[in-house]
Chains A and B, each alone.
Chain A
Amino acid sequence: MTEALLDVRDLRLGVVQKRATLHAILKGVSFQILPGEAYGLVGESGSGKSVTSLAIMGLLGKPLSVTGGALLFKGQNLLDLSKREMRRLRGNRIAMIFQEPMTALNPLATVGRQIAEMYMLHQGKGRQEAQELAIEALASVRVPNPDRRAKDYPHQMSGGLRQRVMIAMALACDPDLLIADEPTTALDVTVQAEVLRLIKDLCAERGTAVLFISHDLGVIASICQRVGVMYAGCLVEENETKALFQDPRHEYTRGLLGALPQLGSRSQNGRRRLVDIDSIIADRSKLTETSFIVPRRPQGGQA
């Protein structure tokens, strides 16, 4: 029986003002990520997938606040940690990559320096050694000419290269968990394929678990072993990736799959009309409260 690396238990969060919850955003989300596992959260805008990741990172800003549940990381509740302890964990044991690398990188520092900072901050390395490690890190994310590229500023790099720099930074301290929030949405398809492959290979090599957030079911399928489907602040279905796509149980998951034109389906079945999710979910509010499937436990997890 493997113990979960991250155990999200009945996480609730909302817009809180004067201790009163004005608007519930997450209505009790539970899932587990095993060590080394890639877990995907998929859903449309506003389904609550990004705030889930921000809550794990402890980066929720006012007026959002966690109103219930627990976030157990290696058995320790992240919600109980002080700001200082959280800062030590963030970037070190839990790292994150974002959709738009340009806004996440400092435009005034070379990328080499920004990566080196990770080693100096979290591992107490000296400047010289950290620089060398940064160049190695750039090489590991397959940036050509890493020693020269380390002297570049973010604006001198293409979107794909910047995302590689983000990955190098995130993986610098060999974190246990990498949170990737739509990391390839802004990229061209062939670059996206390269970056996905890179994340997949590096995390498999180092045994890093991944929480991968995307609205694109295809991207999730190519990288994750298990998937959770989010809708309106609830996890409506969770299963192993293959099983979820072959045999979706929840009405919403079925709708989401039917709403996408899938490559190859027109030659097999002719052009079918795409499913309009709004019309199958006549009453969205009813769906969220009552009818969702109880999430299945990961294999080997405690029942």
Chain B
Amino acid sequence: MSGPLLRVDDLHVRFPVSGAGLLGSGRRMLHAVNGVSFELAKGECLSIVGESGCGKSTTALSIVGLQEPTKGTIRYRDQPLNGADAPSRLQRAKAVQMVFQDPYASLNPRQSIHTSLAAPLRLHGVTSASEISDRVEVMLNSVGLTPDQAKRYPHEFSGGQRQRIGIARALILEPEVVVLDEPVSALDVSIRAQIINLLLDLQEKFSLSYLMISHDLSVVEHMSDRVLVMYFGQIVEEGGWQDIFEAPAHPYTRRLIAAIPKPGFSSDEMAQKTDPTPGLPSGRGFVSDGSNAPDVFVAPAPSELVEFAPGHRVRLSPAD
């Protein structure tokens, strides 16, 4: 297949906020996502990193269809996923699935695991009970659970096991794109390692494409092929994982990496690093260095993503 699996073009999401004016006049809009564009290739793990409120989850929700974008297009295999020609939720479910952060909140406590996993199959026209059982069994095995655990209910499982169930449910319709929203941040250290290993194994086995949302940069570095750094609704830097972690160009990316407490040594060098990354076009500055929060109620100042090394792009002020 040529071309990307998923293509997001100029995505904008704005939320109305009750304004000060009477009768809805002067209604303010919160600019959550401002012109985000990216592509996701087959078998790739692309991560979006950033802090609370930067719009990474809103972007993810738009892709799974839980948030209608204000503007912009999302295309899957060159078919639109939003707008007037959008597919139905059922059709979309076969293409894109999501694994949530809190596996306990995302499983129905009144349904056994078998029922939870069988529901999507039934909805998609699998009627034979034996086929359903077979597929549930195979899926439970692939995520490291045993088929006899299917009879149990969510509260009978530990956090790590529940996340395995969440992954099984996302994969049972055999989607090509899986959105992982902070898949391990609610888990204990030892469990986290198991789930990360499992996600990487499954990616290889089913050649899945992951779009991972995370604020944990060490997990992102471990799992990703490419990384997008978001700051107040915009991508400020984009590149391969090595570009981002070894030669971060944007001051915000540097601050983010420097803020990670690392075992073994103190991490002040990165924050103090002010020398420009080699290859940056001279004479053009950064619009914001990420130290002062911009106003979220106005559209951001004009700027553009500039590719200065192959695949490595950074947001700079517009060329005069």
Interface of chain A residues 177 through 197 with chain B (CB within 8 A): 188-193, 196
B266 interface hit (Cβ, 8 Å):
yes
B41 interface hit (Cβ, 8 Å):
no
Please indicate the chain A residues that have their CB under 8 angstroms from the CB of B260 in the complex.
189, 218, 263
Question: Of B16-24, B68-76, B193-201, which binds chain A?
Answer: B193-201
Of the candidates A192, A264, A273, which one forms a contact with B259 in the assembled complex, judged by CB atoms under 8 Å apart?
Answer: A192
Bound-complex Cα distance A220 to B261 (A): 8
Interface of chain A residues 217 through 249 with chain B (CB within 8 A): 217-222, 242, 245-246
Of the candidates B188, B215, B222, B259, which one forms a contact with A261 in the assembled complex, judged by CB atoms under 8 Å apart?
Answer: B222
Minimum CB–CB distance for A237 against chain B, Å: 14
Check B190–A277 contact: CB distance below 8 A.
yes
- Knowing A259-B193, A262-B218, say if A218 contacts B241 (CB, 8 Å): no
Of the candidates B219, B222, B267, which one forms a contact with A222 in the assembled complex, judged by CB atoms under 8 Å apart?
Answer: B267
Of the candidates A196, A246, A266, which one forms a contact with B264 in the assembled complex, judged by CB atoms under 8 Å apart?
Answer: A246
Q: Of residues A256, A266, A267, which shows the largest number of chain B Cβ atoms within 10 Å of its Cβ?
A: A266
Please indicate the chain B residues that have their CB under 8 angstroms from the CB of A162 in the complex.
none
Bound-complex Cα distance A193 to B215 (A): 14
Minimum CB–CB distance for A23 against chain B, Å: 18
Scan A246-258; emit 1 where CB is below 8 A from any B CB, else 0: 1000000001111
A22 interface hit (Cβ, 8 Å):
no
Bound-complex Cα distance A277 to B193 (A): 8
Check A193–B190 contact: CB distance below 8 A.
no
The number of chain A residues with a CB under 8 A from chain B is: 39
Bound-complex Cα distance A218 to B259 (A): 11
Minimum CB–CB distance for A113 against chain B, Å: 28
- Knowing A266-B241, A267-B246, say if A216 contacts B261 (CB, 8 Å): yes
Bound-complex Cα distance A64 to B36 (A): 52
Check B219–A255 contact: CB distance below 8 A.
no
Scan B238-260; emit 1 where CB is below 8 A from any A CB, else 0: 00011001100000000111111
The number of chain B residues with a CB under 8 A from chain A is: 33
Minimum CB–CB distance for A258 against chain B, Å: 8
Interface of chain A residues 254 through 285 with chain B (CB within 8 A): 255-264, 266-267, 271, 273-278
Check A261–B261 contact: CB distance below 8 A.
no
B52 interface hit (Cβ, 8 Å):
yes
Bound-complex Cα distance A266 to B51 (A): 23
Check B189–A221 contact: CB distance below 8 A.
no
B311 interface hit (Cβ, 8 Å):
no
Of the candidates A44, A188, A258, which one forms a contact with B215 in the assembled complex, judged by CB atoms under 8 Å apart?
Answer: A188
Interface of chain B residues 43 through 72 with chain A (CB within 8 A): 51-52
Minimum CB–CB distance for B227 against chain A, Å: 12
Check A196–B261 contact: CB distance below 8 A.
yes
Check A257–B263 contact: CB distance below 8 A.
yes
Bound-complex Cα distance A82 to B224 (A): 56
A17 interface hit (Cβ, 8 Å):
no
Bound-complex Cα distance A219 to B189 (A): 13
Bound-complex Cα distance A255 to B222 (A): 17
Of the candidates B192, B215, B262, which one forms a contact with A259 in the assembled complex, judged by CB atoms under 8 Å apart?
Answer: B192
Bound-complex Cα distance A264 to B247 (A): 12
B49 to chain A: closest residue by CB: A189
Of the candidates A216, A217, A276, which one forms a contact with B193 in the assembled complex, judged by CB atoms under 8 Å apart?
Answer: A276
A77 interface hit (Cβ, 8 Å):
no
A262 to chain B: closest residue by CB: B218
Of the candidates A188, A219, A261, which one forms a contact with B218 in the assembled complex, judged by CB atoms under 8 Å apart?
Answer: A261
Please indicate the chain A residues that have their CB under 8 angstroms from the CB of B266 in the complex.
222
Minimum CB–CB distance for B69 against chain A, Å: 25
Minimum CB–CB distance for A63 against chain B, Å: 22
Check B222–A271 contact: CB distance below 8 A.
yes
Bound-complex Cα distance A245 to B245 (A): 22
Bound-complex Cα distance A142 to B33 (A): 31
A187 to chain B: closest residue by CB: B52
Please indicate the chain B residues that have their CB under 8 angstroms from the CB of A216 in the complex.
261
Q: Of residues A188, A196, A220, A261, which shows the largest number of chain B Cβ atoms within 10 Å of its Cβ?
A: A261
Minimum CB–CB distance for B30 against chain A, Å: 17
Please indicate the chain A residues that have their CB under 8 angstroms from the CB of B307 in the complex.
none
Bound-complex Cα distance A220 to B257 (A): 17
Of the candidates A45, A222, A278, which one forms a contact with B261 in the assembled complex, judged by CB atoms under 8 Å apart?
Answer: A222
Minimum CB–CB distance for B199 against chain A, Å: 11
- Chain A to chain B: the 4 pairs with minimum beta-carbon distance, closest first: A261-B222, A218-B261, A259-B193, A274-B193
On A, residues with C-beta under 8 Å from B are 44-45, 188-193, 196, 215-222, 242, 245-246, 255-264, 266-267, 271, 273-278
Can you identify 19 A-B contacts, CB atoms within 8 angstroms? A44-B189, A45-B188, A188-B215, A190-B259, A219-B261, A221-B263, A258-B193, A259-B189, A259-B192, A260-B263, A261-B219, A261-B221, A262-B218, A263-B218, A263-B221, A264-B221, A267-B245, A273-B197, A277-B193
On B, residues with C-beta under 8 Å from A are 51-52, 188-190, 192-194, 196-197, 215, 217-219, 221-223, 241-242, 245-246, 255-264, 266-267
